[in-house]
């Protein structure tokens, strides 16, 4: 099993602050996905990154895939209460179907 | 169209009983996955279906766990002789044969 370590495990910030969460592994992934999960619901895909060094932006969210395709980061600018949730990264190793998930970063944004 | 649905949403059972969890994937999605999410843990892969076949059952934790898929659609995850450590949220996802997975809301299983 290719392990994905996410940090921090918990993050509590105030509305308007910026934050970065990390997803690290010693393994190379062919692609990496970020999901957000809200209580009582399943994870929802935010983005997939495929190319080493790739940067993708989704409104206030910026995702980066490491050059070596072993790590990724998610940066949120001017966080809002609606960003609250569990952020999960998942790596795909080339099988075409199997995803390895990290344990997630639980984010709380207070007004 | 409708997303992935799972039933029941919550299940409370007594230790030793059998339970069945159901997943209705998005219509036309050939791939189906079951995961388990325990408190404070990430998603643990259980089993993968392509059509009605399960080419990867490597994540099933013990022989008390089994799953089937019929008609390339509905899937049932069965846990026999439930134990307290089986308590978790069981998530189902479907996929149109790509890596992108669409998740259902999960079934929260509590074993007393």
Contact A99 B99 (CB under 8 A): yes
Rounded Cα gap, residues A87 and A98, in angstroms = 19
Q: What is the DSSP string of A53-103?
A: T-EEEETTEEEEE-TTSSEEEEEESS--GGG-EEEEEEEE-SSSS-EEE--
Q: How far is A100 from chain B (nearest CA, A)?
A: 8
Reduced to 3 states (helix: H, G, I; strand: E, B; else coil), residue B86 is helix
Rounded Cα gap, residues B11 and A91, in angstroms = 30
**Cβ-contact B31, B50 below 8 angstroms:** yes
Rounded Cα gap, residues A20 and A7, in angstroms = 9
pLDDT in tens, B26-40: 999 999 999 999 987
Q: According to the model, what pLDDT value does residue A99 have?
A: 85
Check the CA dihedral B50-B55-B57-B58 and report its sign. Answer: negative
Q: According to the model, what pLDDT value does residue B18 have?
A: 98
Using CB atoms, which residue from B33, B42, B50 is nearest to A103? B42
Most confident range (mean pLDDT) of A26-30, B11-15, B36-40, B59-63 is B11-15
Nearest CA in chain A to B39: A103
Nearest CA in chain B to A46: B100
Tell me which of A97, A102, A104, A106 to substitute to probe the interface with B (most B C-beta atoms closer than 10 Å): A97
Q: According to the model, what pLDDT value does residue B41 have?
A: 77
pLDDT at B1 over 60: no
pLDDT in tens, B75-112: 999 999 999 999 999 999 999 876 689 999 999 999 99
Chain B residues near any Cβ of chain A (below 8 Å)? 4, 31, 33, 35, 40-45, 48, 50, 56, 91, 93, 95, 99-106
Before A8, cis peptide (omega within 30)? yes
pLDDT in tens, A18-75: 999 999 999 898 889 999 999 889 999 999 999 999 999 999 999 999 999 999 999 9
Q: How far is A40 from chain B (nearest CA, A)?
A: 6
Cα angle for residues A15, A88, B7 (degrees, 5° grid): 105
Q: According to the model, what pLDDT value does residue B98 have?
A: 67
Using CB atoms, which residue from A42, A97, A103 is nearest to B91? A42
């Amino acid at each position: 099993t290719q392990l994905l370590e996410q940090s921090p495990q918990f993050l509590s910030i105030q509305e308007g602050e910026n934050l970065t969460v990390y997803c690290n592994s010693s393994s190379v992934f062919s692609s990496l996905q970020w999901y957000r999960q809200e209580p009582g619901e399943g994870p929802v895909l935010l983005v997939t990154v495929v190319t080493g060094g790739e940067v993708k932006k989704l409104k206030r969210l910026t995702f980066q895939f490491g050059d070596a395709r072993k790590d990724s980061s998610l940066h949120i600018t001017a966080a809002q209460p609606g960003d609250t949730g569990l952020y999960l990264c998942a790596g795909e190793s080339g099988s075409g179907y199997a995803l390895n998930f990290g344990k997630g970063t639980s984010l709380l944004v207070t007004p | 169209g409708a997303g992935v649905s799972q039933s029941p949403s919550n299940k409370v059972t007594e230790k030793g009983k059998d339970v069945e969890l159901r997943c209705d994937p998005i219509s036309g999605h050939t791939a189906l996955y079951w995961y388990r999410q325990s408190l404070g843990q990430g998603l643990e892969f259980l089993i993968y279906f392509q059509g009605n076949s399960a080419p990867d059952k490597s994540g099933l934790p013990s022989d008390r766990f089994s799953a089937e898929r019929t008609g390339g659609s509905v899937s049932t995850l069965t846990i026999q002789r439930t134990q307290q450590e089986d308590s978790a949220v069981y998530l189902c996802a479907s996929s149109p044969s790509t890596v992108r997975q669409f998740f259902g809301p999960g079934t929260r299983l509590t074993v007393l």
